[in-house]
Each structure stands twice: as C-alpha cells, then as structure tokens.
Structure 1
Amino acid sequence: MPKPILELKDVNTYYGMIHAVKGINMEIGKGEIVALIGSNGAGKSTTLNTIVGLLKPKKGQIIYDGNDLAHCSAAEIVKMGICLSPEGREVFPDLSVQDNLKLGAFTRKDKVKIAQDYEKVYSLFPRLFERKTQVAKTLSGGEQQMLAIGRALMSDPKVLLLDEPSLGLSPNLVMLIFDLIKDIKKLGVTILLVEQNAKMALKTADRAYVLETGRITLEGTGKQLLTDDNVRKAYLGNI
C-alpha cells in the first residue's frame, strides 16, 4: 500500500443518541481508489460526513497529511484538499452548469489554475461542456452526477470522497461513471468511494473495507473481497 494520505483511528460518531460509527480504523494510501461497501444504514455516509467535518467524531482521530481534522471546520477541510461529492448529487438546480462548477472553486484564489481546471473538468466530462449554459435541473440524472463530481474537482482536491455516484443510473451510465473514476485517479487524485454497487466498486478499487452496523468487519484488495464467500453472499448476490 502507498503511504497513507488519510487515516481514521478509532473514530466514533453519533447521530444524537445513535452510535452510528463504532471505532473504525481505515487507511487510504496516496493515489489509491479505496471502496467502502456495506448495506443501507451501515454508517458509510456517516463516515464520509465525519471526514469532511459535517459531523464531529465523539472519539478518535482523522489524520490527513499529518493534521488531525477532528476539530477543523468543513470549510477548512475543503481548503486543505478534501472534497465530498454527496449522495443525491445536490447540484444547485437553478444555476447553470458553469455556475455550479464556479461554486466548486469558491475557496480558491488562483485564477489561472481555476481556468485550467475548468478545461480539465470539461475534458473529463464533454457532455458538461455541451451544456455549460444549461440550468442544472434540466440535466439528466447521469449529467447531474457528472456535474456533482466536476464541481467537487473544481476545489482542486487531493482526496475526493464519492458517495453513491452510480445511484439511480442506467447500466450504461454506471459503466461510464466508473470509467471516469479511473480517469480521475490517473490525474493523481486519491479517491474514497462509497457505493452500493459492490461488484463495480470492488472491480474498480485498489483496496476496500466492508462496514457492518458501524464496524469494519473485513478489509483487503478489491480482488480479494470480490472472491470472499461472505462478501459474495451478502453483497454480490452469491455469484
């Protein structure tokens, strides 16, 4: 495994009185795609929201590039180089594609690099370039997902967190999104992927963790978990 860029150490997160994440330990190596799979309610999105500061852990450390993020604000964490593309896309529906992307770069001042990143996003997502003046609510589901990922990339992240990027998409678009995830990795971005399509996630990921009721129960390479009998029965339809 490459040197970790992000580590979770005994992280515990609560929703009110509900203990949603229970002492998890994870390492994400620089330049890796790491998948986090599990059933609904396992704590996957809670884990991502804790990393980016939308939720605060009650116990534990989140170490990024030598810094503990547990006491940083969400805005500070984005500036440090971690960005979340949320479940459900959450694009700004009445703004254009271009303006959605512009908001992704709101923490940045480097105008030349921002202009270069527009080009990078449009080369990754040519469909967005074709629709850059179109308002986001008129895009298809797949196009909105591309826009959500593109907006996250406009923050110039070192680590990109993707929460259910294939949710609700047709099989052809699912394949396209996973191809794009591999392309983003080639740009040098580290990716932590939460995904219900466990088969595609494990095929794409360098390594993966299985989360069950807030606890990590298995970890290994994507290939190892694809052939694990317990994973196959629980998440892959025993194929």
Structure 2
Amino acid sequence: MLKVDGIDVYYGNIHALKEVSLDVKQGEIVTLIGANGAGKTTLLKTISGLLNPKKGSITFDGVSIDGKQTQWIVKKGISQVPEGRRVFAAMSVEENLELGAYLRRDKQEIKKDFEKVYELFPRLLERRKQASGTLSGGEQQMLAMGRALMARPRLLLLDEPSMGLAPLLVKTIFHIIQEINSTGTTIMLVEQNANMALSIAHRAYVIETGRVVLHGAAEELRASEQVKMAYLGGH
C-alpha cells in the first residue's frame, strides 16, 4: 500500500533521514520505534507532504505522493494524528471533528462517520459541545484520532498517541487503535512506548539517527536482545 524508497530528508543542513526504505501492506499495523530525535516524526511528516525528500520516492497504491500537497495526500486516503494532539482549543469537540471532514462533500456519509467516532469514543459524545481546550489529555488524544478518522483514511499515521497519558488510558488508546485496524484501516504507528507498540503491531522498524537499522515481525523484535536493551528497559 505504502512504499518509501531510499528517501533523504533535510532540515536546513541537518540530514534527518538517510536512505530510509520501508513498506506498509494493506490491513497491517506497522510500528516505528526509536529514541527521541531518531527521525520518526520527520518520516511521518514527509509521508504527509509536510516535508519533501531531497532524494528517493514515496508511493501510495502505486501512485507517487512525494512532493505533493498535503490536502491532495489526505484526499488520496492518508491522515495523520500529530504528536501533541494539536486540537483547536477554542473550538468545540464537534467543530474539531467537522474539520476532519473538510475535504468531503458526502453529507450523509459524514453523518455516519460522526456516529462511528462517537461509538469508538463515547466520551467525545458526552463532551461534544465543550471547548476542546478544556478536555483532559486523554480526551484530546481521542479527539485528535476521531478528527483524523473523519477524513475516512485508508492509512492512518499516529504520532506518539500515548505521550503524557496515564497507564490505564494508554491501554484504552491502544485497544482503540486495534479496533480501528480491525475495521479495515491500515495503521502506521510511531511510539515511544516500544513494548505496547510491539504488542499490537504486525511488523516493526527500528530507526536510529535517521536510518532504519532493524526490521521484522513485531514478536521477533520484541524478543531481540538488542531491542530489549535499547528500547524495552533491558527486560
């Protein structure tokens, strides 16, 4: 479904991604793990069209998407849930969700998707008229995910969904990610909580200083001594 082939990405003079290649097959959850600053967010931003690769190519369903505008990429079926949630604080929950569907014109289907989002996240239904800035961190994370789903993505990019959340909420969010995947949405997950990410993913890539250094089945990487020492707290 998604193929990233040998991309190089720079921030000014900083070489942030070095010949990164990976692929995501339809229906999978693929996770990217790595330390802070390894290049994980940069990769998601490049797939979303927020950054352009200097070299290499990105294709989605066989169509080249590198260098294309972000809204064109969203229309094609890729949505991103950004790191730090980025909800529109002064707007209500409902208005934030509406914004997720801003490129769509199929009113009846949008209505159905509202219902689906409220089914996945009942808390959002209770808070739908509330200003998003007044929600808890966990509720804002649910809203950011719901907003991305309103675009009806075929591939959902999730950037650090568990960041700053209490352990119990982290479990809830990961359970919902699995639910979203089970309804047919393919997921690419960037996550600091490597243990949780590997427990729900099909495959995983490890990124270190802008390079992919390991990849394989999630269970294999979870059992690997190298991954345990570096990312799973040595146990």
TM-score range, shorter chain: over 0.9
Q: Which residue of 1 aligns with 2:84?
A: 88
Note the alpha carbon deviations across 1:132-187, whole angstroms, 9 max, x for none.
Answer: 00110110000000000000000000000000000000000000000000000011
TM-score, length basis structure 2: 0.99
* Whole-angstrom CA distance in 2 between matches of 1:193 and 1:14: 22
Q: Which residue of 1 aligns with 2:174?
A: 178
Q: Which residue of 2 aligns with 1:9?
A: 5
Residue 207 (1) aligns with residue 231 (2):
no
CA RMSD of aligned residues (A): 0.5
Structure 1 segments (4+ residues) deviating >6 Å: none
Deviation at 1:198, TM superposition (A): 0.2
Residue 236 (1) aligns with residue 232 (2):
yes
* Whole-angstrom CA distance in 2 between matches of 1:182 and 1:175: 11
Q: Which residue of 2 aligns with 1:128?
A: 124
Q: Which residue of 2 aligns with 1:58?
A: 54
* Whole-angstrom CA distance in 2 between matches of 1:99 and 1:46: 28
Counterpart of 1:155 in 2: which secondary structure?
coil
Q: Which moved more, 1:96-105 or 1:65-74?
A: 65-74
* Whole-angstrom CA distance in 2 between matches of 1:42 and 1:105: 32
Superposed, which structure 2 residues align to 1:185-204 within 5 Å?
185-204=181-200
Residue 69 (1) aligns with residue 69 (2):
no
- Name the amino acid aligned to 2:32: L
* Whole-angstrom CA distance in 2 between matches of 1:46 and 1:81: 19
Q: Which residue of 1 aligns with 2:139?
A: 143
TM-score, length basis structure 1: 0.98
* Whole-angstrom CA distance in 2 between matches of 1:142 and 1:165: 9
Q: Which residue of 1 aligns with 2:75?
A: 79
Note the alpha carbon deviations across 1:20-40, whole angstroms, 9 max, x for none.
Answer: 000011010101000000000
Q: Which residue of 1 aligns with 2:32?
A: 36
* Whole-angstrom CA distance in 1 between matches of 2:12 and 2:49: 16
- Aligned pair partner of 1:23 in 4, 19, 27: 19
| Identity fraction in percent | 56
* Whole-angstrom CA distance in 1 between matches of 2:25 and 2:12: 32
* Whole-angstrom CA distance in 1 between matches of 2:206 and 2:226: 10
Deviation at 1:48, TM superposition (A): 0.1
* Whole-angstrom CA distance in 1 between matches of 2:120 and 2:56: 37
Superposed, which structure 2 residues align to 1:98-137 within 5 Å?
98-137=94-133
- Name the amino acid aligned to 1:152: A
Counterpart of 1:70 in 2: which secondary structure?
coil
* Whole-angstrom CA distance in 2 between matches of 1:144 and 1:111: 25
Counterpart of 2:188 in 1: which secondary structure?
strand
- Name the amino acid aligned to 1:124: L
* Whole-angstrom CA distance in 2 between matches of 1:80 and 1:63: 11
Q: Which residue of 1 aligns with 2:149?
A: 153
Structure 2 unaligned residues grouped into runs of 5+: none
Deviation at 1:71, TM superposition (A): 2.3
